[in-house]
Structure 1
Amino acid sequence: MTTNAAMQGKAMSVEEEKIQGGVQSLEVGLTVLDALTAHNAPMMLKELSEVLSMHPAKVHRYVVSLIRKGYAQQLTDGRYSLGERAHAFGVNALKRTDMLELSQRYIQDIQQHLNCSIHVSKWFADGAVVVQSLESNHVFNIITRVGSRMPLLKSATGRLHACFQPEHIIRPLLEKEWESSAKPEQYPANWEDFLELKAKILSQGYASVTGDMMAGINAISIPVFNFTQQLDHVITCIGTEDQLPEGQMQQAIDYVLGVQRQIDALFHPAAAI
């Protein structure tokens, strides 16, 4: 007598076989699509056939199907390349990619190389907010709590974020900080000063402070852009004068800018060439 459990097990086995079996013709078609994707340039049928180790007539049948569905196209010179549907897949994949997750390996590299504290921030409705914080191996650590809103005028983090916000958003927030500031001699002290600082930051590609937010505490911030070249998040290295000496800031800046270029090359390979 067959039990319910046995029947369920048999049903699962049949279902697993179906899944494992797959559709061979689809797999072959996707292999052809993979070859077009990996080549980075249009291909002649003969070239595609050689790459796939497949008879040209067979390759042609699959290419025709890919063209019909918009995943491939034939150019006027006879070569084949990716079609609009394939490009749409790529764009959608980029849109769904978590840039912060992508940056993790590089964030860890910076933390280990400079051995200083790191915090990562994103721009929310009314300011730059810390979303990740890593401590250094030093006895004395600069700890920035996740959820902290960073000052726009005194912190490298805030200054960098401010440079990428439109005037109608950032100017009222800066005015509010100027009004509540207890240091009238601070820089930037007004909108004109900020525009001057903004031009400098955008030109050099980073923001830095040496004791501006807190005496003896230095920081460097670099931007990370998404696939549309919009600011996604900011990585900030922060340390004491011993950990991040003012006299050696340029060396640290050169290093983090090099890392920033590596991150940027992942999403903008054409710009990195």
Structure 2
Amino acid sequence: MGVWGNRGPTIVNRVDGPYSQTIFDLRIGSVLPLLTSALGKNFAAHLPLSFIEPFIVEEIEKQGNINGRPVALSDVYDMLDNIRANGVSNSRGQLLSDFTSLSVPIFDFSNMIYAGITIMGKMDVFDDRMDAKPAKLLKEAGRKLSELGGWKPKDNN
């Protein structure tokens, strides 16, 4: 689980499963990048653009490219639109080379993201397709947690 901290998306809770390989690079307190982590993409897609855009621009300027390609702001906006449409973000080999992850937002009563939950696994084991069971279960968990916080889907307002 992650929240927006004073420097960006920050891991605040972590649970390893019975078959997990401990990942020392990602521990509680780690601040993750916006454009190459599933949690970061999740926050970038759901925080107000007026707030998040300076962070995106700064990250683009620092990194220069993602996966060997220059990053255009218009491509980032397209990616964020897709994340909002799918309800889930992913990071396949971008943050850690042999790992993939999915992340969903948790919204509060005002429809503002206040946390994200992320699941991850080895690329050759974890099914990270958007229509696969892990993504569906994660989206349902995010929805239930959001509803517990008073969130109501936009179509029911």
TM-score by length of 1: 0.50
SS in structure 1 of the partner of residue 132 of structure 2:
helix
Find the counterpart in structure 2 of residue 222 from structure 1. Answer: 104
**Which has the larger helix fraction?**
1
In the alignment, structure 1 segments of 5+ residues that lack a partner are 1-119
Find the counterpart in structure 1 of residue 19 from structure 2. Answer: 138
Q: In the superposition, relative to structure 1, how do residues 169 and 243 fare at CA in structure 2: closer, same or farther (>3 Å)? A: same
Q: Show the 5 A alignment for 1:42-191.
A: 120-138=1-19, 140-143=21-24, 144-181=26-63, 183=65, 185=67, 189-191=71-73
Cα-to-partner distance string for 1:158-194 (whole Å, 9 max, x where unaligned): 0111112333432222222222226455578121011
**Which has the larger strand fraction?**
2
Question: How far, CA to CA, are the matches of 2:138 and 2:41 in structure 1?
Answer: 17
Question: How far, CA to CA, are the matches of 1:249 and 1:150 in structure 2?
Answer: 25
Aligned residues: 154
Cα-to-partner distance string for 1:31-55 (whole Å, 9 max, x where unaligned): xxxxxxxxxxxxxxxxxxxxxxxxx
Question: How far, CA to CA, are the matches of 2:80 and 2:70 in structure 1?
Answer: 10
What's the CA shift for 1:139?
A: 5.6
What's the CA shift for 1:236?
A: 0.6
TM-score by length of 2: 0.82
Find the counterpart in structure 2 of residue 38 from structure 1. Answer: none
What percent of counterpart residues are identical? 22
Cα-to-partner distance string for 1:144-168 (whole Å, 9 max, x where unaligned): 2111100111000001111123334
What's the CA shift for 1:267?
A: 4.0
In the alignment, structure 2 segments of 5+ residues that lack a partner are none
Counterpart amino acid of residue 134 in structure 2: A
Give structure 1 regions of 4+ aligned residues with deviation exceeding 6 angstroms.
Answer: none
Whether contact under 8 Å (1:155, 1:209) holds in the other structure is yes
Q: In the superposition, relative to structure 1, how do residues 177 and 146 fare at CA in structure 2: closer, same or farther (>3 Å)? A: same
The answer to which structure, 1 or 2, has the higher relative contact order (CA under 8 A, 6+ apart) is: 2
Question: How far, CA to CA, are the matches of 1:123 and 1:255 in structure 2?
Answer: 23
